[in-house]
Structure 1
């Protein structure tokens, strides 16, 4: 547990690290115990999420034999980010952020255990799967918004970019390992057994979170909740850099990232691959994302990180546009790796720059609204899929990728100070 510590206190108490390339890359993990606990808890939670996603998707397919019902699971898990993340960010300023994480993870543990019980007893239904997925998504949205607000409490400002990028690297590692582990687990242990393993991951995450230092509220507890939210929105409108960074976070989430939902169509109809080939596409993209996160974690003395971020998103749109046009597997794999690299490095840079630009008094609310952008991907998949039916899936992805690059340039034209961010 421990008493409250500031990033400056944590910096003074940090462990010595030998200045090697690895030491510089893993700086925040090696130096700051509280951040290390938060990172471990986050990775364990995300591993559990992959188990849940694969297990519930398989269970829904067995129960309904319907792609529509399986797609509704993705919608039920994504919509809570639109509904819950912003209020959760405001709560993170009113209460101890560590306590909110504990509540979210304990709630997710209860949901997972209850769902495992329903599956093992044969009482699960498609509707109950949707309810459990929505509840889990709501808790995950609140957990992630609070976690974002917590990072600067556990590392000094000088280590913030490294800490944000290493957390992104951890999440992308689970993106590679999660599906490859969850599939065999469902095959050997069944859906119920896999959900029990998810519960075990959440229990371990909960234990790590319980060892985090406490964080005091940053707002007066008697301030009306609606006023808290309104002041957060007013702050974003008042500070062009913050507004620009959130808009830039929204651009690829709406216009590019939904292509990930359409990879099964590319695998079967464009590249003529089976399920194994589809898994290869996801794995290569995940490997690129991991490399991109580690690239940002290793960055030192880059003068204009804002300009680098903008350059990356423009090139990212171009790479995905090339992917949408190719029918040659080696080029498609190269584009997916490059796209994963650029997308992850862009989001890690955007996240780090947002943390550096925001005042701590409104950090919870701003990061909560930032997390809302994560909910745009399942919503963006709907119009992209509809456009795919109308013209073609490659054409829809091409349109989104080119629109993303143009939209990013438009945001920068309106907020040119983004290019000068250090």
Structure 2
């Protein structure tokens, strides 16, 4: 992976981090995605400013963020499963077309003077549903559009696009809202959806957009497999934790900045646009600095310093009443935001193996947007109850605490070969499906003989193998000491059925998983061939 990806050592053979943009299909979709994401943030700013014009309270303004993010919690997980086993390009075309229609209806209501805060929040929620459904399909599609050696760079560019749009979109909207009005922003958002549709149609021959080969698990089983992978991947698990620790307090900025602009600084829509432009400019600077920061600081240090900078910025914004001071403060704040969010997102995206990528990314996005939705509503309530300065200062304290917590919750190392899938069958010949096996659970049992002086080392290595088994499909796992035979240990794990066990070896094991298993086997004086027990129903 490129150095722009926080915490990832994924190899990248690209001579330049921009190399994936040479691929026509990737370049077209990357540009269209950026334009579409800019439109989505223009939509959010327009909605917030409409509510301010309606003299809405702090909670209602903050609920725009919640209405946008809540659909991710509700829909992204099932959408991730669909993205694994349906034509991703067609799925994206259908969703974008629906979003064009929803935006057209919103424009008619706005220009006709029939838009109310309740209707606006409902329409915002519907657009959020479209974004939630398309997100896993797009993120899983990206790595298939470039050569294998450029996957890391492509993931970084994709993440960079999303987060630059988050910075640039509000800035552009703030500048245009005074000229075009809220309805004009909504109309521009609709046009960006149309741009994405055109890019998808032109990418008809792009590789990797079809249904994945191999066994198709049942819907619920597919969801569970994605959950198991995330739960038993130390790198993804810690990255998600660090994301939440930063995002919950940091989201006070995006939830309440319109109120700061209007009520604390006395600015109108143009002044609000100036604040957003400053944050956007800082984000662009952060994107350009990320390769240098990756060389100068380790992944955890980048998180610590970014959290500290963002925390100081929140305190200054909460207590200050100077427009120039606020503009200057938002520059490093924008830089800190993109270093954390874009870095973590691209690192996770590049770390995932193909078989579970869309589902695992869905879970990651659920956490991200759930934290966004919940924290936006919470900060709105805090501001309404205690005031804007108190809300921003409380966020600053939480950000400082989050930076300190890195002493105990460091971002884990990510093996460079954790994503490369290998076909690994130790002591097992691949044969036909055993009689009675289809649909029935399979128990796999491996017998180890371990010398007393290697017992502690073996148990330590077994922990990594347990994570590997569970990550790749084991429903349960256990290591048992044989009472009748001292020095003998039995590893036993259960998978859903025989087909799932075949997939576990052929499609899911990475080079890192193989190394964990070989390390364990090397510590044993003898390893018997694995036994496979198929469940037999008795009634």
Q: TM-score, normalised by structure 1?
A: 0.80
Query: 2: CA distance between counterparts of 1:314 and 1:197?
Result: 34
Moved more, 70-79 or 144-153: 70-79
Query: What is the CA deviation profile of residues 89-141 of structure 1, one whole-angstrom value per residue up to 9, with x for unaligned ones?
Result: 22211212222221211110121123334445566555443332211110012
CA contact (8 A) 2:156 2:347 kept: no
User: Residues 420 and 25 from structure 1, CA distance in 2 versus in 1: closer, same or farther, beyond 3 angstroms?
Assistant: closer
**Which residue is 1:302 aligned to?**
295
- Tell me how far apart the structure 2 counterparts of residues 365 and 299 of structure 1 sit (CA, whole Å): 32
Between structures 1 and 2, the one with greater helix share: 1
Structure 1 residues 215, 263: closer, same or farther in 2, change over 3 A? same
Q: What does residue range 119-130 of structure 1 map to in structure 2 within 5 Å?
A: 119=110, 126-130=117-121
Say yes or no: does 1:245 pair with 2:236: no
Larger mean CA deviation between 221-230 and 123-132 belongs to 123-132
Is residue 402 of structure 2 the alignment partner of residue 407 of structure 1?
yes
Aligned match of 1:376 in 368, 371, 392? 371
Please, what is the CA RMSD of the aligned residues?
A: 3.4
Q: Which digits, 9 at most, give the CA deviation of each residue in 1:135-161, with x for residues without a partner? A: 111001222333222222223235235
Matches of residues 125-144 of structure 1 in structure 2 within 5 Å? 126-144=117-135
Distance 1:108 1:328 in 2: 39
Q: 2:354 aligns with which of 351, 360, 363?
A: 360
Moved more, 281-290 or 369-378: 369-378
Aligned pair in 2 of structure 1 residues 119, 249: CA closer, same or farther (>3 Å)? same
Give a deviation string over 1:78-97, Cα, whole Å, max 9, x none. 21122122222222112122
For the structure 1 residues 157 and 66, does the alpha-carbon distance in structure 2 shift closer, same or farther, using more than 3 Å as the test? closer
8 Å Cα contact 1:259-1:381 kept in structure 2: no
Say whether the 8 Å CA contact 1:145–1:367 is kept in structure 2. Answer: yes
Say whether residues 1:216 and 2:210 are aligned partners: yes
Structure 1: 5+ residue stretches without partners: 1-10
- Structure 2 residue runs of 5 or longer lacking an equivalent are 1-11, 418-539
- More moved, 315-324 vs 98-107: 315-324
Structure with larger Rg:
2
Identify which of structures 1 and 2 has the higher relative contact order when contacts are C-alpha pairs closer than 8 Å and 6+ apart: 1
More deviation in 391-400 or 287-296? 391-400
Alignment partner, residue 81 of structure 2: 90
Aligned residue pairs total 396
Which has the larger share of strand?
2
Q: Which residue of 1 aligns with 2:514?
A: none
Q: Distance in 2 between matches of 1:265 and 1:110?
A: 31
Question: What residue number does 1:278 align with?
Answer: 272
Q: 1:28 aligns with which of 20, 32, 40?
A: 20
Pairing partner for 1:394 from 389, 394, 411: 389
1:205 aligns with 2:196: yes
Task: Check if 1:153 corresponds to 2:144.
Answer: yes
C-alpha distance in 2 between matches for 1:53 and 1:25: 30
Q: What residue in structure 2 maps to residue 180 of structure 1?
A: 175
**TM-score after normalising by structure 2:** 0.64
